Structures are given as structure tokens and as C-alpha cells.
Amino acid sequence: MLKIKRVPTVVSNYQKDEAADESVGCGRNCLGACCINGARLPLYACKKLEKSGAGEKLVISHETREPPVAFLESLVLGEWEDRFQRGLFRYDVTACETKVIPGKYGFVAQLNEGRHLKKRPTEFRIDKVLQSFDGNKFNFTKVGQEELLFQFEAGEDGEVQFFPCMPVDAENSPSVVAINVSPIEYGHVLLIPRVLDCLPQRIDHKSLLLALHMAAEAANPYFRLGYNSLGAFATINHLHFQAYYLAMPFPLEKAPSKKMVTTVNCVKISEVLNYPVRSLLFEGGKSMQDLSDTVSDACVFLQNNNIPFNILISDSGRQIFVMPQCYAEKQALGEVSPEVLETQVNPAVWEISGHMVLKRKEDYEGASEENAWRLLAEASLSEERFKEVNDLIFEAIGCNKQEKELEEPTVHQQNHSGSVNQKSNRTHGGPITNGTASECLVRQ
Amino acid sequence: MSITESSESAFTEEEDSFNTRYSLWIKEALDELPHSFTITDPFISGHPIVFASPGFLKMSGYSREEVIGRNGRAFQGPKTNRRSIMEIREAIREERPIQLSLLNYRKSGSPFWMLFHMSPVFAKTDGKVIHFVAVQVPISGRGHHRKVRNGSGLTGDVSDRSELVFGSCRREVRLGNFVHQSRALPVECDEQGLEKWEHCEASESEKLRAGEAINSVLSILMRYSELSGRLVCGKRHCLRGAECLSSSLVISLGRIKQSFVLTNPCLPDMPIVYASDAFLTLTGYKRQEVLGQNCRFLSGVDTDSSVLYEMKDCILKGQSCTVQILNYRKDKSTFWNLLHISPVRNASGKTAYFVGVQVEASCRGTESKEVRPETRQLSVVGAVRVAVRSSFMVTC
């Protein structure tokens, strides 16, 4: 069994050291059975999913001005600022110095000396990407209701539905957005799908689609969602995505990419080039659902095969980066260089995307592109292993990599059934061609 | 606040954007240039086009009235490369020139490749960005003789790229699964097809032409600014002064539709450095009348001085506060202002501004389907914090 010691991030004010955390008799207004009755929260139900990707894109492109702050964005910002002024955060993240590291990549460094204080290092098992939910450990049913901002759901309607004060229906296990009390940037929140179902940190199709919905509805390219699997620096084994605002592109988003394959649903999969962490970029697709399902298929494959990974949802849900990584494994085996280890920076999704949160002033002041690169490179799979993993992913989602080498044009029959497969533990992708000319292979 | 009112004032602003900076006949001089180009003003909310050349109108198929006041993104479409959009956004944010191939759409809905070359125009005295000039040189594709497959699997030379779209349309029809999407182009599903939309390299002579066009527009702008005495130039000659905000910050702030002002506590008498459109609508003043002023012009004889003192105290302590205060519009009419004030830090963690968000007391009774007014007010503070924090992170 591989383990590493690290200081866990405190995401909630109710997250005590694990040992002291057992049986917190209530009176603190949590989400447990003891307090849930009568709880009320705003509810945001987003627009119904567009069946056709083209329609959705056209609407976006025909804005005549810079788009105004979207409704969801003002809800996130307004509720977050409210918790900020109520003093619920462990520190004022806007008081943390931050800068762009000079160089051509534009890594962003933040000095955050307060984020990791007052916590003892804890042992984390890092060799199992899938672990079952443990109700005795800290989880999001234990957070105080004041840390929750609103309920979020994928709507059934063509319009956004908003209810400022909606009873929390415990039977239906709402998805909620909560603050992260140790924010790494302004607006740092957690999206917890079906919080009362106590799902372990594990990608399923429905939850990833919900995260994509949130990215699309926030309608701001500077509001991204991220995901860390276990073994890739998730600290809490209770399904959650993170999100925050940083009004500049991440180096990962700026990196060039080279197309590898296109699925029959038009999801284009590319390899990110000239970046320290070898990553895959998923974009396009006939609909957001296609894009989401393809990424979910890939992630389900990774987690089932015990490969730790991170996900970055960019460009309002249009681009999704998947980064398989091996830093924790290397760390446990003593293969990470001591200088890199000393910085105590854990390359989770935000660090890999190029936003480095540094704990020591000397690291911040001496931050250079080379240092950032060296740290991130430690997390990357080797070229050989990355290729191998890619081939397995493509196989798992039914994509044939040789497709791109074909000289004859392939004809893809579009699938217009419109049926939406939302089964949460599907392991195979949608229809994929491995086509020869005018041949069409459809599987579902 | 009615829609007509706000669009009317925006129109004047677009006119002003030119008239205050350049001498008479500037537009006529620009009209004579053969190039296709637009000029945008980042200091008007929405970063709209304030001038479009006859060449641009001809190329895009729009009339001048349809173009003025719109943002350049209006000409992008579903196949426009997301990465290119990000690169342009970045260049604007960093106030630097950029040249790249871009897929734009005509009014008819047909896409075309062009070489997009954008360059900021600076004020000579304070280094502030005045405008962005964007030149569009159509990419002919001639001389490249790319081999392009059409629907029937034959190969041929295609130089007109709009042909290509219809080519793929026909293929969709042939397959019998073409779904009519109002004006939408069919989603290109063919792998080779996708590639053609990804990049189209301009020739060296096209690149040269774009650069020359930028220079001729800049030289006219410079000449006509000399005559007006408010000089502009294509290169930044001095660092931006403390009193002027970066254009990227102004563009971000312009997305916030509520009434608010930013004041700079590091300048004498804490003047207003930014006022939102809604603030101008609420108070009846013009932007030029409030920029550089201390907020006290909103007070009048019946304003409670103890509230003013309370505000001052909070500002000195660097704290946020919410007060109810009687304010006066330009026409001397009064309104109860539920004012929230908060310090806003920049990227180094220092207080750079105070934001004041005004909510007219009578407007508070909103329907139950809305975000609470208090939350809406705080959302402005949040959006300002995000914008300010990152605008100071630019390395230049």
C-alpha cells in the first residue's frame, strides 16, 4: 500500500482533525438528518440541455456587446461576497500577493502562507483511485448550512428557474454549491453533486455533465471548474468539483495542441504540446452531452484502471482538459527530487493548469518558469506511458487512432435518435466509427 | 431606466469617442482609405466599434448603422477557432498588437478567412489606450493551392472558402440527414472537414499588407490628433498614470450592469476613477462630469452629515459598510441611496480602490424570482474584486 503524508486542505470550518471529528452531536446546522429539516437555500435550475450544439453556439456568437455578468455569475459572486463579509473564510485571499511569472508561458504564482497553517500532516493512501465512501471521515454532509451558497440542478425547462428560498428536499439529494473556506482565488467554491447520496470521489456521467452545465451557465471563460481524483491530490473522498475566478488564461489553456482523433459525435481529442504535463484536450461534439459523455468515458476508464488524473473544464464548458498524473506515486516511492518536494506544492488541477499556490515566501520571490516547469514535469506521465494510456483510452471509448491516417474520407452517419443516455456508470462511449470509405459502424 | 435611454446615450458616447480626440473631418479622411478596418473604444461599456471603414462594410455585408455600437465578436461564429478568440482577448487585456488568421462571418452567414491585425492606440501624454484599430485582410488562399476534398471524395483546388461550406451542406443533404437549423451551418462532422476550419495561414504579402494598413490608419489618427492637440500614437511612450485605469479593467467593469463607482484612495481627495453606465443613468450626470470628482457632489442640504461621517470612518479604517443616505441627482431631485462601500485590493494585496454600489431604495421591492437585492449589490463588489485583482497581474 502506497501512502504519502501531507497537510490536508481545510475546505470547511467544520473540518477538524480527523481524530477529533467523530460524532459531532449537532446544533451546528449541518446537512445531516439532525438538522436538514426546515433547511432552506436558493435554488438555481439551469436551462434545459441543447440537443444541437450548433444552436447553442450560434446564440453565443451573436452577442452584440461584451456579454453582461450572467445571472449565475452574480449569484455565485454575491453569495460568496456575503460569506466573505461575514468572515467565514480562514483568510482574505484578495490580500494574498499574486503575480505572473515572467516568461513565455505566463505561470501565475500566489503567495499563500495561511492556507496550510494549523494543520497536522495526515497520511493519504494514494495507490487506489477508487475508494469507498467513509461516513466517519469528514464529508460535505458535515458542513454548516451557512457555508452553502445555493442548490444547483440541471433544469427541465428552456429557461433558467430561480427560487430564492427553496426548502432542501433531503429525499431528492440536491446538488449544492458551497464555499471553500481556504480559497485559492476569489469565488472559490465546491460543486457537490447529490450531496446527501454520499458519493465517493469518482467521475460519473451525470455529475460531470452537471459540472459542465455550471461552466456553461456561468458564461465566463475565467470561471473554470476542476476535479482531482484520489491519488491526484483530492483530499476529501466525497464527490466534488472546485471552481473559482481568475481573469486571465491559464498556461495550459494557452498551450498549442495537436488533434489525435475525432469521435463520431464530433468530439475532437487533441494532445497538448509544449507543456510540462502531458494532457488531453476534449472539445467540440454535437452537443454538450456528447462532449461530457466522451470525457466521462475516458475518466471512468482511468479510474477503473487506477490511473490518477485531474480535469479542467475551460472556456465555459467548451474545452475539457484531462491530465493523468503520477506525482503522488513517485513521491511515495521516493522518486521526486528533494528541491521540488521541499516547496510542499501539490500538483493538483490548478497547479497543473499553471496557477501555483506557494507556501513559502522564498519560493514566491524566486518563482521562475524553470521551477514551475520542473515541479509540473514531475507530475506528468512519461511519453511512453502517456501514449500507452492514450491508446487504452481511445480503445475504451471506441476510437481508433489510425483513423487520422486514412487517406479516404470517412462518412459518419449522424445519430439523430436524440435519446439521452444518463446512466451513471456506463463504461462505453457513444457510437464511434473506425471507418473506411462510406462504411458506417454505429454501436450504442 | 428604459432601453431607449441607454442606447441613445451609448450612441452619443460612440460619436464622442472620436470627436473629442480628433479634429474635424477625421472620419472623412478614414473613409478614403481603401482598407477594411474597424476602430473600437474599450472605455465605452461593451467595447463597441466606433468606426467601420467602407471596405469593412463591403466585406462584411453590414451597413454602418448595424456595425457601430457592436462588439467585434458579433462577426465570429460557430466555426471560429476558440483559441484565436482567447488570443485576441489576451492581446486586448495586455494592450498589445496581435496578428492572426481568423474565421469571420458575413451578414449573409457565410464564413471567410481573414488576417486579423489589431493594434492599440495610446494617448501620448498619459499612455492610456484610446482605441484599438483592427485591420482585416481577406486571405485569398490563392497561391497555396491546397488540396481539398469535397463531398464526393474527389480532390480539387478550392480557393473560395465559402464554397466549401456549401459543399459540405450538399453532402449533408445527400446523406439525407441534413437538419435545417435556422441560419446555422451544419455541424461539420467529417474529420478532414474539421481540419480545414482550424487554421488557414496567410501569405507573407497578406501579412505585409495588414501591417501597412495598420500604419496608414495610425498615421491618419496621429495627424488628426495633432490638430486637436490631444496626441495619440501607436507605441506607448510613458507608463499609464495612476488616475487612468487599464482598458482591460474598464472592459471587465463594463460587464457589470448595476450602478457603481470606483474611487482611488491613493489620489488626493479620493476621486471617482470609474463610473458605470447605470450610475450615470441613476444620477443624471455625464461620465466626464463625474470622473475626477469626489463623491460628495451626490450630497445636498438634507443629507445627514452623521451618515457621511460614518462612511468616512469606514473608509479610513479600510472596512466595508452599508448605509442609507439621501442623494441628489443632477436635476436636484433626491433619492434614498442604499449604499454599500468596500475596499478593493489589487494583485499585491494592497487596497487600490473603494467600490461604492448604489441601490435606489424605492427599487428594492423586487419579485421573489430574483436574487435578493443585497446579494445583487454584493455581486457587484465581487465582480469588481475579480476584475481589479487580475488587471494588476499583467506583466509589462
Q: Model confidence over B88-98: pLDDT tens digits?
A: 999 998 899 99
Asked whether residue A104 is domain-assigned, the answer is: yes
Residues 93-122 of A with CB under 8 A from B: 94-100, 102, 106, 108
Q: What is the mean pLDDT of chain B?
A: 81
Strand partners, A108: A100, A355
Question: Higher confidence at residue A417 or residue B272?
Answer: B272
Asked whether residue A426 is domain-assigned, the answer is: no
pLDDT of residue B364: 53
pLDDT of residue B309: 95
Q: Which residue type does A412 have?
A: H
Asked whether residue A412 is domain-assigned, the answer is: no
**DSSP alpha helices (H): ranges in chain B?**
3-19, 26-31, 54-60, 64-67, 82-93, 161-174, 191-198, 204-228, 247-254, 277-283, 287-290, 305-317, 373-391
Cβ partners under 8 Å of residue A197, min gap 6: A173
> Which of B147, B341, B386, B392 to mutate against chain A (most A CBs within 10 Å)?
B386
How many separate domains does chain A show? 1
- C-beta separation of A175 from A194 below 8 A: yes
Q: Give mean pLDDT, residues B103-115.
A: 93
Question: Inter-chain contact B175–A413, Cβ cutoff 8 Å?
Answer: yes
C-alpha B333/C-alpha B314 separation (Å) is: 27
Strands (E), A277-396: 280-284, 309-314, 319-324, 355-358
Q: What is the CATH number of the domain that holds A150?
A: 3.30.428.70
Asked whether residue A433 is domain-assigned, the answer is: no
In chain A, the percentage of residues whose pLDDT exceeds 70 is 82
- C-beta separation of B274 from B288 below 8 A: no
Least confident of A433-437, B251-255, B387-391: A433-437
Q: Give mean pLDDT, residues B59-66.
A: 93
Q: Give mean pLDDT, residues A107-131.
A: 84
- Min CA distance, A221 vs chain B (Å)? 9
> Which of A44, A149, A186 to mutate against chain B (most B CBs within 10 Å)?
A186
DSSP B179: P
Q: What is the mean pLDDT of chain A?
A: 84
Asked whether residue A171 is domain-assigned, the answer is: yes
Q: Give mean pLDDT, residues B214-218.
A: 95
- C-beta separation of B36 from B53 below 8 A: yes
Strand partners, A241: A191
- Min CA distance, A425 vs chain B (Å)? 27
* pLDDT reading at A117 higher than 80: no
Q: Which residue has the cell 482598458?
A: B247
**Which grid cell is B213?**
494598413
- C-beta separation of A187 from A223 below 8 A: yes
Question: Higher confidence at residue A317 or residue A420?
Answer: A317
Any idea which residues of A carry the catalytic annotation? Answer: 240
Q: How far is CA B210 from the centre of its chain?
A: 22
Residues 52-91 of A with CB under 8 A from B: 52-55, 57-58, 61-69, 71, 73-82, 84-85
For every residue of A391-426, DSSP letters joined together read HHHHHHTT--GGGGG-SSPP-------------TT-
Cβ partners under 8 Å of residue A347, min gap 6: A233, A277, A325, A327, A375, A376, A378, A379
Q: Among partner residues A66, A162, A318, which is closest to B254 by beta-carbon distance?
A: A66
Q: At what angle do helices A205-218 and A71-85 cross, to 10 degrees?
A: 90
Q: Which CATH class is domain B3-139+201-233?
A: alpha beta
Asked whether residue A209 is domain-assigned, the answer is: yes
Q: Chain B residue with minimal CA distance to A109?
A: B393
Do the domains B3-139+201-233 and B247-391 sit in the same CATH topology, yes or no?
Answer: yes
pLDDT of residue B190: 40
- CATH number for the B247-391 domain, one of 3.20.20.80, 3.30.450.20, 3.30.70.141, 3.90.180.10? 3.30.450.20
* pLDDT reading at B165 higher than 70: no
DSSP A325: B
Q: What is the pLDDT of residues A39-50, one digit of tens each?
A: 889 999 987 765
Q: Give mean pLDDT, residues A387-407.
A: 76
Residue range(s) defining the domain that contains residue A230: 3-12+30-55+67-405
* pLDDT reading at A243 higher than 60: yes
Asked whether residue A238 is domain-assigned, the answer is: yes
Measured between CB atoms, does B396 come within 8 Å of chain A?
Answer: no
> Which of B375, B391, B395 to mutate against chain A (most A CBs within 10 Å)?
B375
Cβ partners under 8 Å of residue A95, min gap 6: B345, B349
Of the candidates A208, A247, A82, the one whose C-alpha atom is nearest the C-alpha of residue A150 is A82
Asked whether residue A335 is domain-assigned, the answer is: yes
pLDDT of residue A214: 96
Q: What is the ipTM of this complex?
A: 0.84
Q: Which residue has the cell 512519461?
A: A382
A25-39, A386-400, B189-203: which is most confident: A386-400
Going from N- to C-terminal start, the domains of chain B cover: 3-139+201-233, 147-198, 247-391
Q: Give mean pLDDT, residues B152-172.
A: 36
Question: Higher confidence at residue A116 or residue A436?
Answer: A116
Query: From the CB of residue B157, how many other CB atoms can be counted at a distance below 10 Å?
Result: 11
C-alpha A352/C-alpha A376 separation (Å) is: 6
Q: What is the pLDDT of residues B63-86, one digit of tens each?
A: 999 999 999 989 998 888 888 999
* pLDDT reading at A17 higher than 80: no
For every residue of B64-119, DSSP letters joined together read HHHHTT--GGGG--TTS-HHHHHHHHHHHHTT--EEEEEEEE-TTS-EEEEEEEEE
pLDDT of residue A417: 39
